[in-house]
Amino acid sequence: MREVLEQLTQEFAGRIAAAPSYPDQLYAAIAIADIPAIAAALRSRHSARLAAVFAEDRVRPEAAFYNYYVFERRGNPCYLILRARIPAEDPRFPSLAPALPSVNWQEREIHDWFGIQAEGHPNPRRVALHDNWPDVHPLRKDFPLHTALPAFEGDQHVYRPTLGEGVFQIPVGPVHAGIIEPGHFNFAVAGEPILYLQLRMFYTHKGTEKLFEQLPAQKGVFLAESVSGDSAFSHATAFCQAVEKASGMDVPSRAGFMRTVLLELERIDNHIADVGAIAMDVGFVIANAHAGRLREMALAINEELTGSRLLRGMACLGGVRRDWSASQIAALRDAIATLEREFRDLVALLKSSDSTRDRLERTGFLHPEKASALGIVGVGGRASGIDLDVRRDHPYAAYRHLSWRVPVYQEGDVLRRMQVRIDEVFESVAMLRAALGDLPGGPHRAPDLVIEPGRCALSAVEGWRGEILYWVRTGPANRIERCKIKDPSMNNWPGLVEAVQGNIIADFPVINKSFNLSYSGTDR
Amino acid sequence: MFKILQKTLRAGTVTQPYPETAASLASGFRGLPEFDLENWRDARPAADACPSGAIAVTDAGRFRTVTVDYGRCILCGECAAVTPEGAVRVGRNFEAAATDRKALVISAQYTLDAEGRQTCLVRAAPEIGRQLTRQIHRILGRSLAIREVDAGSCNGCELEIVALNNSVHDIERFGIHFVASPRHADMLLVTGPVTRNMELALRKTYDATPDPKLVVAVGACGISGGIFGTNYATRGGVDQVIPVDVYIPGCPPRPEALLFGILMAVGRLRNRQ
């Protein structure tokens, strides 16, 4: 990325200034008016991907907000982070959404949280704060976390009408029929096929990013575990890595391997559950029963290693909270062997059913071009030709010591989203074996460190769902001044909207399950 | 077809007979922390370390009140890790559901020395587990239909609730099943914290559930708001919005803890042989 930044600096003579950086994340200051041109140059001439856009309130010390644009480029482990000042008295920025649909929600979020207007945004309505909220901007520093807002008396969201003979709308949620998280889906259908789906998220918005600003970093780890409960360890690790990078904390190599083991275990238990749930949604109940049994085996080994079935209470700054004994590691090896054998049987069972394949193939097709425009990441991306994997592209923990195949398919249907999961379970099993074989000795945790205030850092983790990004600015007294969280679901929900079009509404559950996105991770 | 049958037979019976027999827990399992109130010399480190504010210390002159709220506990074990004398231990108990919110709170009064260390336990409120046997709504005591409502959770509780339906925990062996609509439900199983954006939906769901009905609040967040507490976006625990009959602590409560609380709510817990 250094060459890219140098070329950019020449192209935009004098308007890009390098800022304090790390070897794997370059910072540069730009003028906010230049961002459309710079983003276009980065995307077209340097084939860079815009991974995240977010803002920060620096009004008190600097009389300004800042927008951050995180770019990455395939084959280069370094991120390029552009930082643009937005004066507090004139809070607006030029929207990139007309050219780049992937930032649609992110830019609107900046408006809702900070009151900075995305100028030229094609759909500048609220996204994160529901329409009935009063006119507040909760991530501004002058908005206290514990503000008691009055009863919401504003208007409810007005969905776009769908007109035409025989066309009708089906509202679903936020309380759903299954045991899942809340969100509202408004389907427009003509007969059975879905014409158009409108999503309303952020029902589980809990003020999480604001809450991070009130907690010491050590306690923030537990909050990160509760951002998305099925990715507790991935989110907590992403948070820890960001704080460690900002404060210059070295993580012992044993801890890096242990983190890798736990991250892969999280991938395995979730992927097994999803494979079962996809089978369930097309009526293959027995396959789901076996998957449920396997998942319980996986959760039992999670509990053996961390004290928690969902891997909670294990992540910490500087490593992991507890070391493993030889008997725990032996139990893990046994569990891996059983799981692999049983999972192979489960896959054979699934493949033996032609009717299952028939229901999954070409169902919920997400075109690779659309996936690319929407910035789809993770499992959903890899099933639609998007070859991204943070573990390979920006190695962390012990991934630089391991090798694996990243499964990528072009067909973009439910079958391939399931196949990506199946392939990844087997890859993860092999990675676990390799990581345990090379597990170094030494400490499992670095000594606590006083966190220097005013340092910023980005961290990325390939959670089982996809790319999880955390960006922190440290504050005084071991506190966090700003914590930006980006769950892969944020980008991927619009992918679901594309994938369901033209499918019969009865297939919506299985299409939704094949993405299995996090509501809480999106809503925070 | 033959292969499916063969696979099923080979897997055998995997359902755990809990609560007839004790749950099978991994050796490292962290349950609720246990407090040796008599020998606890200093509660301040534990209170400082607790990420969800479950342990509170209030000093007044030479006296200290320590409260431990299991309804806020996220089972992280930090209180035990920072308490040197072994007065706080990570326990293995998870059967802590209660019909009374106050039954989840331990309170102890101490006298203090000049350094603020606790010298003598003056008074302690009853320990958890004493008031658990009140039986309610026996009318629903047989088959039970549950509607699950996520009122703002991180999805951790939902994963464990889903696990109640797998072949290992198999809640249907009690005639208990999850239904798709509140109109078909006897019980709402609600996770939290209740967000401002889910408040109305939760009220409407409650109103749509026919009487007699039960409400069970699940997990630290459902009971108290947990680590999220109450803020501009959340209302805290479920009982801030609708009346609650049973509280099930945990983060998340493991499936057996959920089963324990659900059976308690319908008065179907029997003493284990």
Domains in chain A, CATH or no CATH each: 2-119 (3.30.460.80), 167-200 (no CATH), 208-363+394-492+506-511 (1.10.645.10)
Best of A258, A308, A325 to substitute, by most chain B Cβ atoms within 10 angstroms, is: A308
The answer to whether residues B98 and B220 belong to one domain is no
List phi, psi (to 5°) of A384.
-115, 35
The CATH code of the domain that includes B111 is 3.30.70.3270
Q: Is B28 on the interface with A (CB under 8 A)?
A: yes
Alpha-carbon gap, residue A293 to A61, rounded angstroms:
55
Instruction: Examine the pLDDT at B129 and tell me if it is beyond 80.
Output: no
Q: Tell me, yes or no, whether B16 lies in a domain.
A: no
The answer to whether residues B145 and B192 belong to one domain is yes
The answer to whether residues B62 and B93 belong to one domain is yes
Q: Is B29 on the interface with A (CB under 8 A)?
A: yes
Instruction: Examine the pLDDT at B132 and tell me if it is beyond 60.
Output: no
What domain count does chain B have? 2
CB contact under 8 A, A206 and B158: no
Q: What is the mean predicted confidence (pLDDT) over B222-241? A: 96
CB contact under 8 A, B195 and A222: no
**Residue A450 gets which letter from DSSP?**
P
A516: left (phi > 0), else alpha (psi -120 to 50), else beta?
Answer: left
Q: Is B251 on the interface with A (CB under 8 A)?
A: yes
Contact (CB, 8 A) for A75 and A20: no
List phi, psi (to 5°) of A307.
85, -5
Q: Tell me, yes or no, whether B51 lies in a domain.
A: yes
Q: Tell me, yes or no, whether B8 lies in a domain.
A: no
Alpha-carbon gap, residue B162 to B143, rounded angstroms:
19
List phi, psi (to 5°) of B144.
-135, 130
Q: How far is CA A92 from CA A17, A96, A108, A111, A236, in A?
A: 21, 13, 12, 9, 32
Query: Does the N-terminal peptide bond of residue B252 adopt cis geometry, omega within 30 degrees of 0?
Result: yes
DSSP conformation letters of chain B: -HHHHHHHHHH------TTTSPPP--TT----EEE-GGG----HHHHHH-TT--EEEEEETTEEEEEEETTT-----HHHHH-TTS-EEE-------BSSGGGGEEEEEEEE-TTS-EEEEEEEPPPTTTTTT----GGG-SSEEEEEEESS--SHHHHHHHHTTSTTT-GGGGTEEE-S-GGG-SEEEEESPPBTTTHHHHHHHHHHSPSS-EEEEEHHHHHH-GGG-SBTTB--SGGGTS--SEEE-SSSPPHHHHHHHHHHHTT------
**pLDDT confidence of B131, banded at 50, 70, 90?**
very low
Instruction: Examine the pLDDT at B271 and tell me if it is beyond 80.
Output: no
The answer to whether residues B150 and B188 belong to one domain is yes
The answer to whether residues B49 and B105 belong to one domain is yes
Taking CA–CA distances from A217, the nearest residue in chain B reads B51
Query: Could you tell me which residues are beta bridge partners of residue A472?
Result: A457, A483
The answer to whether residues B84 and B149 belong to one domain is no
Question: Of the candidates B124, B145, B168, which is a domain's last residue?
Answer: B124
Handedness of CA A373, A378, A383, A388 (dihedral sign): positive
The answer to whether residues B142 and B94 belong to one domain is no
Range of the domain at B140: 134-265
Q: B247: closest CA among B271, B223, B230?
A: B223
Query: Residue B133 CB: number of other CB atoms within 10 A?
Result: 11
| Residue written as token pair 């995305």 | A118
Question: Of the candidates B89, B104, B124, which is a domain's last residue?
Answer: B124
Best of B197, B207, B256 to substitute, by most chain A Cβ atoms within 10 angstroms, is: B197
The answer to whether residues B151 and B240 belong to one domain is yes
Q: How far is CA A245 from CA A19, A241, A350, A367, A474, in A?
A: 16, 6, 44, 37, 11
Q: A-chain residues within 8 Å CB-CB of B51?
A: 215, 219, 221-223
Helix or strand holding residue A381 (H, E)? helix A378-382
Instruction: Mention every residue, 6+ apart, whose C-beta is less than 8 A from residue A78.
Output: A1, A2, A23, A24, A25, A26, A72
Which pLDDT score, from 0 to 100, does residue B137 have? 52
Contact (CB, 8 A) for A272 and A298: yes
CB contact under 8 A, A206 and B152: yes
Contact (CB, 8 A) for A84 and A106: no
The answer to whether residues B53 and B98 belong to one domain is yes
CB contact under 8 A, A295 and B163: yes
Size of interface A-B (CB pairs under 8 A): 191
The CATH code of the domain that includes B218 is 3.40.50.12280
Q: A-chain residues within 8 Å CB-CB of B29?
A: 303, 307
DSSP 3-state of A342: helix
Instruction: Examine the pLDDT at B136 and tell me if it is beyond 70.
Output: no
ipTM: 0.95
Q: pLDDT (tens digit, 0 to 9) for every residue of chain A, 524 residues total?
A: 888 998 999 988 889 988 888 889 999 999 999 999 999 999 999 999 999 999 999 999 999 999 999 999 988 999 999 999 999 999 999 999 999 999 999 999 999 999 999 999 999 999 999 999 999 999 999 999 999 998 888 778 889 888 888 899 999 989 999 999 999 999 999 989 999 999 999 999 999 999 999 999 999 999 999 999 999 999 999 999 999 999 999 999 999 999 999 999 999 999 999 999 999 999 999 999 999 999 999 999 999 999 999 999 999 999 999 999 999 999 999 999 999 999 999 999 999 999 999 999 999 999 999 999 999 999 999 999 999 999 999 999 999 999 999 999 999 999 999 999 999 999 999 999 999 999 999 999 999 888 999 999 999 999 999 999 999 999 999 999 999 999 999 999 999 999 999 999 999 999 999 999 999 999 99
DSSP 3-state of A229: helix
Q: Tell me, yes or no, whether B109 lies in a domain.
A: yes
Which pLDDT score, from 0 to 100, does residue B127 have? 55
Q: Is B219 on the interface with A (CB under 8 A)?
A: no
The answer to whether residues B222 and B103 belong to one domain is no
Describe the strand order of the beta sheet including B118-124 as a list of residue ranges: B55-60, B63-69, B105-112, B118-124
Q: Tell me, yes or no, whether B196 lies in a domain.
A: yes
Contact (CB, 8 A) for A425 and A439: no
Q: Tell me, yes or no, whether B212 lies in a domain.
A: yes
Taking CA–CA distances from A149, the nearest residue in chain B reads B232
Strands B144-150 and B187-191: parallel
Alpha-carbon gap, residue A201 to A183, rounded angstroms:
5
Contact (CB, 8 A) for A271 and A424: yes
Q: Is B157 on the interface with A (CB under 8 A)?
A: yes
- The tokens for B147 are 């509607």
Which pLDDT score, from 0 to 100, does residue A216 have? 94
Q: Tell me, yes or no, whether B230 lies in a domain.
A: yes
**Residue A165 gets which letter from DSSP?**
T
Taking CA–CA distances from A274, the nearest residue in chain B reads B159
The answer to whether residues B183 and B248 belong to one domain is yes
Residues 256-275 of A with CB under 8 A from B: 273
Taking CA–CA distances from A220, the nearest residue in chain B reads B51
A114-127 burial, b for 16+ CB within 10 Å, e for fewer? bbbbbeebeeeeeb
Question: Of the candidates B124, B159, B190, which is a domain's last residue?
Answer: B124
Q: How far is CA B232 from CA A106, A143, A145, in A?
A: 21, 9, 6
Q: Tell me, yes or no, whether B28 lies in a domain.
A: no
- Estimate to the nearest angstrom the gap between the alpha carbon of A473 and the chain centroid: 19
The answer to whether residues B118 and B138 belong to one domain is no
Which pLDDT score, from 0 to 100, does residue B270 have? 64
Alpha-carbon gap, residue B177 to A502, rounded angstroms:
34
Instruction: Examine the pLDDT at B130 and tell me if it is beyond 60.
Output: no
Q: What is the mean predicted confidence (pLDDT) over B156-184? A: 95
